[in-house]
């Protein structure tokens, strides 16, 4: 049984979350708390396996609570409960920076209890099981590195684009990678992070404030430029298309894939059709298998694939699926991925620093 502590200043939300979790035979709610201060006392008394934590609370808010939890419980999974607003998104990203494992959004005020229950169930249950399964795997010996799939013979093409996909744990993984890349990176970078609208824009703004590259949400029809990072907006698929010598971003609201929009598979397929094998693909921490099928045409064309390793991933679902399928050229800890990207791109040559100012 997975034991859960539910923390929220709203009695209605505490009851809703408790009822949803208690309906799962593998989960037991062992306590609730109306604010972070009481939650800290209950963590020590109850020793839960995982915590759901409201972002905005009186006495001690969610971000401050996460910071206190991480001082004594560095590996205890914490899932933030946020609102779909700019304030909620900003606070949630701050909580993830402070060490929260993941987040879910509170149900919209539709007046439908059935819809609210379904929203919480669909978002929360998979995350709880995935995060607790990860902690259980830490006690097991490391898995044997799967063999790589044979690659097409011949010399590899120079990298002309980098694509990155991430989900659970992705905001901090993306920040780690993107802020370590040089301003002279000679190719565009396209990013899919599984997040809702508002959140992706706030994420891009936060990373942009620290990065030497220009990081922003992609806009439909804008040209792909070196030294720029294009983040897929929440609830929009991002693709690339070619018009003569110009590659442009394309946004649309096509059907979800892997229950996601944006989806990595959608981006990866389009990148394979435009750039062929001249692509470096990077898949970071995340639940599920989004990106696995999209990697297949990229690998078949001769593209290279790097995935984050299990030890530094919050959840080794997306990168693990690619590694286990033999589609990864390298499985690296998060701290080494930016250097690997720079090394691969530099084979084409970095742009002189004097030209970088014209990109911004």
pLDDT tens for each residue of 210-243: 999 999 999 999 999 999 999 999 999 999 999 9
Enter the CATH code of domain 2-137: 3.40.50.2300
Are the C-beta atoms of residues 306 and 280 closer than 8 Å to each other? yes
- Asked if the model's pLDDT at residue 352 lies above 50, the reply is no
Res 111: pLDDT? 62
DSSP state of 81: E
Higher pLDDT, 74 or 139: 74
Q: Do domains 2-137 and 161-359 have the same CATH topology?
A: yes
- Asked if the model's pLDDT at residue 266 lies above 60, the reply is yes
Rounded CA gap, 253 and 315, in Å?
27
Are the C-beta atoms of residues 228 and 359 closer than 8 Å to each other? yes
Catalytic residue positions, numbered:
167, 194, 290
pLDDT mean over 37-54: 96
Are the C-beta atoms of residues 190 and 230 closer than 8 Å to each other? yes
What are the extents of the domains in the chain? 2-137, 161-359
Q: What is the pTM of this model?
A: 0.90
pLDDT tens for each residue of 144-184: 455 555 555 555 689 999 999 999 999 999 999 999 999 99
Alpha helix segments (H runs only) across 4-160: 11-22, 36-46, 62-72, 86-98, 113-137
Q: 161-359: which CATH number, 3.40.640.10, 3.40.50.180, 1.20.1630.10, 3.30.310.80?
A: 3.40.50.180
pLDDT mean over 331-353: 81
């Amino acid at each position: 049984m997975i034991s859960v502590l539910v923390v929220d200043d709203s009695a209605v939300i505490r009851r809703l979350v408790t009822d949803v979790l208690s309906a799962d035979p593998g989960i037991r709610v062992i306590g609730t708390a109306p604010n972070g201060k009481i939650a800290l006392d209950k963590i020590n008394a109850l020793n839960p396996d995982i915590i759901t934590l409201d972002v905005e609370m009186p006495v001690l808010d969610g971000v401050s609570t996460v910071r206190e939890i991480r001082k004594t419980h560095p590996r205890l999974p914490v899932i933030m409960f946020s609102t779909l607003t700019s304030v909620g998104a900003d606070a949630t990203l701050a909580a993830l920076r402070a060490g929260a494992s993941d987040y879910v959004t509170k149900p919209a005020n539709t007046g439908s209890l059935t819809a609210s229950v379904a929203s919480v169930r669909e978002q929360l249950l998979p995350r709880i099981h995935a995060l607790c399964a990860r902690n259980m795997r830490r006690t097991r010996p490391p898995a044997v590195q799967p063999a790589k799939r044979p690659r097409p013979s011949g010399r590899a093409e120079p990298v002309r684009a980098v694509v990155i996909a991430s989900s659970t744990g992705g905001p901090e993984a993306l920040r780690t990678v993107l802020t370590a890349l040089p301003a002279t990176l000679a190719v565009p970078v396209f990013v899919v992070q599984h997040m809702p609208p508002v959140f992706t824009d706030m994420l891009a703004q936060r990373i942009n404030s620290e990065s030497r590259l220009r990081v922003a949400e992609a806009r439909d029809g804008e040209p792909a430029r070196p030294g720029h990072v294009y983040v897929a907006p929440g609830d929009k698929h991002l693709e690339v298309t070619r018009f003569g010598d110009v590659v442009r971003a394309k946004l649309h609201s096509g059907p979800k894939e892997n229950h996601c929009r944006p989806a990595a598979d959608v981006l990866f397929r389009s990148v394979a059709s435009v750039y062929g094998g001249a692509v470096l693909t990077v898949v970071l921490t995340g639940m599920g298998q989004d990106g696995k099928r999209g990697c297949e045409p990229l690998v078949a064309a001769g593209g290279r694939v790097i995935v984050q390793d299990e030890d530094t991933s919050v959840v080794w679902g997306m990168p693990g699926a690619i590694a286990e399928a033999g589609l990864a050229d390298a499985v690296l800890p998060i701290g080494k991925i930016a250097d690997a990207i720079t090394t691969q791109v530099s084979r084409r040559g970095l742009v002189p620093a004097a030209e970088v100012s014209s990109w911004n």
